[in-house]
Structure 1
Amino acid sequence: MISRGYRGTDAKPSLLGFGCMRLPRLQEDKQDIDYDMGQKLIDYAYANGVNYFDTAYMYHDGLSEAFIGHALSKYPRESYFLADKMPLWQVTQESQVEEIFQNQFKRCGVDYFDFYLCHGLDRNIVEKFKKFHVIEYLKQKKAEGKIRRLGFSFHDSPEVLAEILKLNDWDFAQIQLNYIDWQAQDAKGQYDLLAKNGIPVVVMEPVRGGALAKLCPQAADVLKAADPQASLASWAVRFAASQPGVMTVLSGMSSDEQVVDNVSTFVNFQPLSQEELKTLQSAGDIYKKYLTIPCTGCRYCMDCPSGVDIPAVFKIYNEFSVSGREGEFLKAYQALEEKQQASSCVACGRCAQHCPQHISIPEKMKEIREKVEKILSE
């Protein structure tokens, strides 16, 4: 497994990282983790050189940290890098910062974090970051050896990123980077700014929540014609890993197939050639013609007070946007409980406040509801 190292030190985090936000589940409609299958995936990744594992306080409704702590407990602590995050949007008073941090140690069963992040910094969260003196607290924990490297994850513009870089001498940063968001969310501008400042980059959402592994047929055909043996996902992760300033590309893996494919891609990693980049751009241009909602299924919007299953509704609608099959769309949509459907949305806007993709969720729910009503009336 290739490693680009970390700032000239002996630390060798793997170029492929295991993201623990989309672990295998016991039931499709619940976040409970399938420990047996999850352990199998972690073991395979570890055996093939993956040593960077990324979790967070709220992943799988708070169950991810305990799982990855359990899964990695069989291995020497110094043989892997564990990353966790401070969920600032859940903090309402300063004392909670200490409570959450200590709880993360208990959940993970470790006494230090190799990489620790201020989770989801943007123009709004950064004010809470300052108000509750989070950076001072975390820098103290770093001085105590509880945190080895301190960074942040980010969802906003390069202009806001420039301001955040002034707040601390950051050890690394995590951004959403893929071949669609390179332009769509100016990931290029964010990456260039971090590279200019010599800050190692960890990539999240390289496959855009799995969407780039399920392209519309026209876009998929372009990539398959160029390389019939390569998976659609491998094109996406190779794009992210081809940026030289990237230290680690996180992939949320939930199946044998995904782990084997990713490991194969990174063990034999080759950056995209100029010809391959042109091919990928062509496929991306085709994909963008389809009006999909840029939801990655992160679930930061959940739980909805009205019971709407926002990620599920968006997933079903996006699949319809690509396929155009109304019958399949209605069947999947109506399989949701009535309260989980778009028609239950009361447009309170609470969800949109937490969406890292800045989706106008109530507006999209209205569009989907109207689309369903239109199909049913025809």
Structure 2
Amino acid sequence: MQKRTITKNGQEISALGFGAMRLPTKNGRINKEEAKKEIFYAIDTGVNFIDTAVPYHGGASESFLGEILSGEYRDKVNISTKMPPWSVKKYEDMENILDKQLEKLQIERIDYYFIHSLGRGSYKKLEDLGVSRFLDKAKADGKIKYAGFSFHDNPEAFKEIADAYDWDACMIQYNYMDEENQAGKSGLEYAASKGMGIFIMEPLKGGHLAGDVPERTLEIWERAEVKRSPADWALRWVLNHPEVTCVLSGMNSQEQVEENLKVAGEVQPNSLTPEELKLYAEVKEVYKDLTKVDCTSCGYCMPCPVGVDIPGCFEIYNNKYMFNDKRAPFSYLIRMGGVMSGNESNAGLCIDCGKCVRACPQKLSIPELLEDVSNELEGHGFSYKVKFGKSVVMPMMDAFIALQHRFSRSSSKN
């Protein structure tokens, strides 16, 4: 397994990291034996970064890792988890959440502590509550070693957040279809210029680039001199970037682990040939033909006067058609409805002021397109769905996690 060095702290991280969000399951719960076998195999083969978060597997992922990562295996890996901003109402919440995570993970210090799913609005809320002071104190107290943030917004917001604190690392969505979306290539390069460790999530775009892909894309890949699976091609593209420290993959089978280990062991930065890069461009054109909105996510339409995340709305809308994404309505509710961030940015907020139309280099009829998005992904009663999500779903998640925490404490005493 190749290692890549983080400029800022000099630490060598495996090019492949194990994401503990999609572990194998049985009867709706983590299949502990299978998951343990896969994680240990990955570590024995050189993976030294394991990533989790509070919501993963309904709150069970952190506790599971706490059960299995002890002794020699704890010494071999960096453990990463994330603080959920949606559960923070006051400064003390940040300290309490971190302490609970340390207990669940059964460790004294978290190696990499990311603030989860940040955007401009959610970061401002946390900054007002003292998140910078919290991170400094957590480091000084030895509860976390390195601080970072995971990100879902536009390039401008990424740079603002990257400059707002002395971050050690960031986690961004990046794949050959998202080169200009969210943080994008400009964010990748900006983080690298600051020496941060750069961890990549969604290298397969939630599995869309590896599963039931269009037949036309398979025909293009078949023309390559070396035959590879769509998943291999997708991972290879990300690892080809010298700025990337580690690609996080949510693996849930031994076959996936072995394939990803092979790719991560082979691909060196800037190793793709010009001929191979041309194939990626052709595949992207196939997906582009399937898009509903020809939005490049340039961000010139932003900020919207009423808070609509215009590129974000179009991204989810396009995903529905490009990848036959049946999860699009749920993703839209969570992201654009502000269930997690607290800031609604859905298409239905549009007031047709025309500012975005005047700014759009593509000359898109943005208000009309937003109406299409709203009709298809919001439908009737969207505001009630948002209220339900904010008032019921997330508190239920917090309550479930708290209950599990109390159970794990009582079990450890017996």
TM-score (norm 1): 0.77
Structure 1 residue 200 corresponds to structure 2 residue 185: no
Q: Could you say if the C-alpha distance between residues 77 and 321 of structure 1 is closer, same or farther in structure 2, counting changes exceeding 3 Å? A: closer
Give 1:42-57 correspondences, 5 Å limit.
Answer: 42-57=39-54
Q: Could you say if the C-alpha distance between residues 133 and 37 of structure 1 is closer, same or farther in structure 2, counting changes exceeding 3 Å? A: same
| Contact kept? 1:352, 1:361, Cα under 8 Å | no
| Contact kept? 2:16, 2:47, Cα under 8 Å | yes
Give 1:219-368 correspondences, 5 Å limit.
Answer: 219-227=217-225, 229-270=227-268, 271-291=271-291, 318=320, 352-354=337-339, 360=346, 367=376
Q: CA RMSD in A?
A: 3.2
Deviations 1:156-180 (A, max 9, x none): 1121122112221111111111000
Greater shift after overlay, 136-145 or 266-275?
266-275
Give 1:24-173 correspondences, 5 Å limit.
Answer: 24-27=24-27, 30=28, 32-173=29-170
Distance 1:38 1:212 in 2: 23
Distance 1:341 1:123 in 2: 22
| Contact kept? 2:9, 2:168, Cα under 8 Å | no
| Contact kept? 1:86, 1:117, Cα under 8 Å | yes
Secondary structure in 2 matching 1:13: strand
Opposite residue 367 of structure 1, the aligned amino acid is E
2:206 alignment partner in structure 1: 209
Aligned length: 327
Distance 2:328 2:204 in 1: 26
TM-score (norm 2): 0.71
Segments of 5+ residues of structure 2 without an aligned counterpart are: 294-315, 349-371, 380-414
Deviations 1:209-263 (A, max 9, x none): 1001022110122113215631111111111111111111101101111111101
Distance 2:334 2:42 in 1: 39
Deviations 1:180-231 (A, max 9, x none): 0102445112112112222221111110110010221101221132156311
Q: Structure 1 segments of 4 or more deviating over 6 A?
A: 347-351
Segments of 5+ residues of structure 1 without an aligned counterpart are: 294-313, 324-328, 334-339, 371-378
Give the deviation of 1:352 after TM superposition: 2.4
Distance 2:45 2:255 in 1: 14
Distance 1:212 1:199 in 2: 27
Deviations 1:93-119 (A, max 9, x none): 322111110110111111111111111
- Percent identical across equivalent pairs? 34
Opposite residue 39 of structure 2, the aligned amino acid is I
Give the deviation of 1:73 after TM superposition: 2.1
| Contact kept? 1:158, 1:193, Cα under 8 Å | no
Q: Could you say if the C-alpha distance between residues 120 and 277 of structure 1 is closer, same or farther in structure 2, counting changes exceeding 3 Å? A: same
